[in-house]
Structure 1
Amino acid sequence: MFDLLSLSIFCIVSLAAYYVVYRYRNRRLYELAGRLPGHEKYSIFGSFWLMLSMPRQDYVPCVMDLIKDEQQVTKVWLFNKLMILTKDADFINKVFNMHQTYNKPDLFYKGFMTTKGLITLAGSEHKRHRKVLNKAFTSKMMQRLPDIFDDKSKKIIKNLCQVENCGEFELLEFIGPYSLETFGKSNLNYEIQYHKSDIFHAYDNYSSVAVDYLAYSMMGVSQSLISFTKLGQRIKDTFQKFDAYFDNVIKVNSQNNNNNNIGTDPTAIDILLDPNNGFTEEEIKDELIMMLLGAFETSTRIISMTLMMLGMHQDVQHKLIKEINDVYSTEEKDVKFTTDFLQKFPYLEMVLKETMRLFAVVPLVARETSEDVDINGYTIPKNTTILMSIYAMQRDEKYWGCDAHLFRPERLENGMEYPHAWAPFTGGSRICIGYRYAMLAMKVFLINFFRTYTVDCSQKFEDIKSEMTMTLNFLTGYKVSIHRK
């Protein structure tokens, strides 16, 4: 009994000593944190367990509830990690453009389960990868994409004949393959039948798997420790499909490279496989996973969301169809898609931007301070996570008016009064590398779609329910019905 009591006392004293030493070593952190407004009731264990027990559909609303309208930032603690929450457009824009907030926190991005891709890389390694891969997304490269998007969109739209006039169907089953086929053709020099393929299912599941793993990764639990669980098996199945697909991509392109088939305008896979660029096998695989993820999640979800919005708002759909018909009535019969030609559809761009405003595909974005930094009068300590709610910012009445919660593309007719309050592709030097690619892909698809079909959606706008995976996902699905014009 005495030994047990002694051991208990020793443990308590040791923990107390550790706490005192920890607080002393991090006294500046706590001093600066004490000056920041926030929620002390969520300190230490409170916010940690709150997040672990919270359903995914409550993540974004919880962040929105924590952010106070009367202040730019809100402090919370995640275990012993200081976090700053914000939806302020000026504050977020400065974070995007400061070198002290260039890196992303491992705390949140471990869930991707890749470490060598643009989304997760930090510092000089990220800058090296970004500089080299930018060559695949230059303005010159963009000029060759519309033909590819035109061909692939017409193929998918032709396949839609099997569901026309047949009631509502799930859009993702058709739009997902379009996103994969366009990127496969344009940047991987590789084509397969993507509809219901293994790689389609892998990406369809990846976001959900990654978020489910995030809670474990934040506690330091490795994938090997959960390998025998259902989640571990889902992770294994997903990455086996990734490996099989990208092994084939690399094999085909390596053979082409050996035969000197690389053109003067190298694609992303050409750049990654070029030995002069010095990418390791792990870096190549991780970059391919992340780039195709970006193409799949962005184009697939935004096109699907846009079609749903137009199905719910028939007046907007009629106005868009009129714009498309008017443009084609003045063009030659066989007019080709070009970047200049796509500029003739301003209302289409407004519709897309309004959809992305209401439904930020990446609703929460995180950065980490590399040193103490002053932003808008607040001193943010080193190693603080800044969690930015793009979703909340883009629905804030301060920037978008009293009808900010409604779908109204006309609000963008004269530009944006607060351009920094629209950031679906983030901003600064870490802005999405493929944002121009995504906009072109979405515009071409929607133009071709509405030259053939109209769309209806029985779901009500106010009944949409979403959840936070790696991207924003509609829990209520992406179901519409289509009718040939």
Structure 2
Amino acid sequence: MNVPTEYIFALATIILIPIYYYYTKLHRIEKFFETFPTPTTVPILGNARDLRSSAALFKNLHAYVRNYGKMVHIKIGPIGHVLVCSDYKFIEFLLTSNKLLKKSFNFKLLEPWLGTGLATADGGVKWRAHRKLITTAFHFKILEQFVDVFESTGDILVQKLSKESGNQSVDVFPYLTRCTLDIICETAMGTKVDTQNSEASSYVQSVKTMCKIFLSRTMSILKRYDCIFRFTKDYEIQQKCLKILHGYTNNVIDSKRRELEEKRKDKKWRDVDDLGRRKKKVFLDLLLEGTVDGQSMSDKEIREEVDTFMFGGHDTTATAVSFILYCLANNKEVQDKVLEEQKELFGNEKNPKVTYSNIQEMKYLENVVKEGLRLYSPVPLFSRRIDQDVEYDGTIIPKGVGVLIFGHGIHMDPQYYPNPEKFDPSRFENLDGRYPFAFIPFSAGPRNCIGQKYAMLEIKCLLSKIVRNFELFPASPHHEMMLAVEIVLKSLTGVKISLKSR
């Protein structure tokens, strides 16, 4: 029987493409990883079973570092290879590079939600232009204006927590998530949403669900592929969450647009203050009024950046404050020093008029915050995709290698932090600055967190207010946190403490 030539050609193509891919790309990557230790694997799955849940991922990454060292090769499925790194020298090399800026493939799984905003963009022209525009939203003159919002929103938080005063155990995290969501909306978006006075927030719940789905897809050999994911229950759930999340941010954007249009119509409105100085624009103003390369940002681009900052600006901050409150509740000596510093600034006044300069004077509290960020890093993992052959320490790292920077791993390294399990803010009084890349809660280098000064200011403001109003104690019965990575570090058992009004 004569077989048509085109069929033979098609069959040969089907056979040869995988062979070509293996020897030109995958084979080089596999050869590179031969020099690194690999935890015990199982056929087909590799190390995927070790990473089957958010809690297992966090626990086993630390186990890999302890048992195999600071540069570990793990396999996910039959062809997935990742370098898990908590080595100082390599972290410095990677994070300071102006070329190796691409996030890992897994971040594409966030694009249905966050699009290609600053957090997920590949580090190209669009990313650089947007970052340059948005950076101006975090000028210290703008941050000064936000303190009043931090304070007023924090006052509502104190009212809510007062209802829990005297209870032996309260999970503070839900209170903080609603508070920080209100703060990000009013400061960066210029819109009040009053989430704290709602019984529940569908937005907050949808964020939580999307984080879980992202992690589930990341660790799954099959669900990471869209063609398979579309037929799963998680896909249906994701679509419902996206409707809520995008609906929420679209409402915020529309509200701000209407406000700006009304201001333009108002002949008395001026964009300068009483001294004739041009008013600083907040984040959403910049997006709506700004241009990139002479072009206004599209509605889609604006929503992507708003979605990114709505998520990053409330969830990570709420996580940080919750964990630090837990540390203070379980370390009375440190809590007493924080209170002493507050009294030096404000006497016994629980609700003073707090200014930007007051917050800058809270030096001990700043060390407390840094130690909390070290011990419970809100974003414990960063990823990069090596998108070009690059030389490191005499070795060529081939294009296609995926790197997982285990920031929490280096934060718990006794080489840089003796007795790393201990909550000890004094260690930040003695650091000499020789190892800046041993403390990376906000990442570092060109892709560092653009809002880190905003976050530090907000965290200090909320903590100082809570400590002035409440004495913190460990929860009763004893509360053990179960740490897990769901994009942001979380405790699956909540963050529980006891509060008593001062």
Structure 2 CA distance for aligned equivalents of residues 104 and 44 of structure 1 = 28
Are 1:62 and 2:60 matched, yes or no?
A: yes
The 5 Å alignment of 1:125-140 reads: 125-140=126-141
Please state how far the C-alpha of 1:240 moved relative to its aligned partner: 1.5
Q: Which residue of 1 aligns with 2:5?
A: none
Runs of 4+ in 1 over 4 A off after TM superposition: 11-19, 68-72, 215-220, 224-229, 330-335, 459-462
Contact 2:218 2:224 (C-alpha < 8 Å) held by counterparts: no
| Partner AA of 1:252 in structure 2 | S
Please state how far the C-alpha of 1:166 moved relative to its aligned partner: 2.8
Q: Which residue of 1 aligns with 2:91?
A: 92
- Aligned to 2:99, what secondary structure does the other structure show? helix
Contact 1:312 1:461 (C-alpha < 8 Å) held by counterparts: no
TM-score, normalization by structure 1: 0.88
Structure 2 CA distance for aligned equivalents of residues 185 and 225 of structure 1 = 40
1:101-124 alpha-carbon deviations (Å, 9 max, x no partner) = 211012344245333211100122
The 5 Å alignment of 1:335-374 reads: 335-338=353-356, 340-374=357-391
Please state how far the C-alpha of 1:23 moved relative to its aligned partner: 3.0
Of 311, 319, 326, which residue of structure 2 is paired with 1:301?
319
Q: Which residue of 1 aligns with 2:305?
A: 287
Q: Which residue of 2 aligns with 1:5?
A: none
Q: Which residue of 2 aligns with 1:118?
A: 118
Contact 1:32 1:381 (C-alpha < 8 Å) held by counterparts: no
Q: What is the count of residue pairs matched by the alignment?
A: 472
Structure 1 CA distance for aligned equivalents of residues 140 and 75 of structure 2 = 43
Structure 1 CA distance for aligned equivalents of residues 254 and 69 of structure 2 = 54
Structure 2 CA distance for aligned equivalents of residues 474 and 12 of structure 1 = 52
Q: Which residue of 2 aligns with 1:458?
A: 475
Q: Which residue of 2 aligns with 1:273?
A: 288
- Aligned to 2:120, what secondary structure does the other structure show? coil
Structure 2 CA distance for aligned equivalents of residues 230 and 32 of structure 1 = 38
Please state how far the C-alpha of 1:87 moved relative to its aligned partner: 0.5
Query: Greater CA deviation, 19-28 or 197-206?
Result: 19-28
- Aligned to 1:400, what secondary structure does the other structure show? coil
| Partner AA of 1:408 in structure 2 | D
Query: Greater CA deviation, 363-372 or 458-467?
Result: 458-467
| Partner AA of 1:97 in structure 2 | T
Please state how far the C-alpha of 1:388 moved relative to its aligned partner: 0.9
Query: Greater CA deviation, 295-304 or 107-116?
Result: 107-116
- Aligned to 2:430, what secondary structure does the other structure show? coil
Are 1:238 and 2:245 matched, yes or no?
A: no
- Aligned to 1:467, what secondary structure does the other structure show? strand
**Structure 1 residues 275 and 244, CA gap change in structure 2 (3 angstroms):** same
Q: Which residue of 2 aligns with 1:4?
A: none
Please state how far the C-alpha of 1:128 moved relative to its aligned partner: 1.4
Structure 1 CA distance for aligned equivalents of residues 326 and 85 of structure 2 = 29
Are 1:76 and 2:74 matched, yes or no?
A: yes
**Structure 1 residues 44 and 130, CA gap change in structure 2 (3 angstroms):** farther
Structure 1 CA distance for aligned equivalents of residues 39 and 206 of structure 2 = 40
The 5 Å alignment of 1:44-443 reads: 45-47=44-46, 49-50=48-49, 54-67=52-65, 72-78=70-76, 79-111=78-110, 113=112, 114-122=114-122, 123-195=124-196, 196-215=200-219, 219-222=223-226, 226=229, 229-259=232-262, 260=264, 263=271, 264-274=279-289, 276-277=291-292, 278-329=296-347, 335-338=353-356, 340-401=357-418, 403-415=419-431, 418-443=435-460
Please state how far the C-alpha of 1:459 moved relative to its aligned partner: 6.6
| Partner AA of 2:57 in structure 1 | Y
Structure 2 CA distance for aligned equivalents of residues 281 and 481 of structure 1 = 45
- Aligned to 2:73, what secondary structure does the other structure show? strand
Contact 1:118 1:129 (C-alpha < 8 Å) held by counterparts: yes
**Once the two structures are aligned, what percentage of the paired residues are identical?**
20
Please state how far the C-alpha of 1:380 moved relative to its aligned partner: 1.4
Structure 2 CA distance for aligned equivalents of residues 183 and 40 of structure 1 = 42
**Structure 1 residues 229 and 16, CA gap change in structure 2 (3 angstroms):** closer
Contact 1:298 1:361 (C-alpha < 8 Å) held by counterparts: yes
Structure 1 CA distance for aligned equivalents of residues 399 and 478 of structure 2 = 42
Please state how far the C-alpha of 1:69 moved relative to its aligned partner: 7.1
Which consecutive unaligned segments of at least 5 residues does structure 1 have? 1-10
Structure 1 CA distance for aligned equivalents of residues 359 and 136 of structure 2 = 22
- Aligned to 1:252, what secondary structure does the other structure show? helix
**Structure 1 residues 475 and 70, CA gap change in structure 2 (3 angstroms):** closer
- Aligned to 1:315, what secondary structure does the other structure show? helix
Please state how far the C-alpha of 1:16 moved relative to its aligned partner: 7.0
Contact 1:203 1:296 (C-alpha < 8 Å) held by counterparts: no
Contact 2:37 2:68 (C-alpha < 8 Å) held by counterparts: no
| Partner AA of 2:23 in structure 1 | Y
1:156-202 alpha-carbon deviations (Å, 9 max, x no partner) = 11222211113322212211111011111111111122032332332
Q: Which residue of 1 aligns with 2:501?
A: 484
- Aligned to 1:210, what secondary structure does the other structure show? helix
Structure 2 CA distance for aligned equivalents of residues 390 and 162 of structure 1 = 37
Alignment RMSD (CA, Å): 3.1
Please state how far the C-alpha of 1:461 moved relative to its aligned partner: 8.9
TM-score, normalization by structure 2: 0.85
**Structure 1 residues 317 and 98, CA gap change in structure 2 (3 angstroms):** same
Structure 1 CA distance for aligned equivalents of residues 39 and 474 of structure 2 = 44
| Partner AA of 2:49 in structure 1 | L
> Which has more helix, going by share of residues?
1
- Aligned to 1:393, what secondary structure does the other structure show? helix
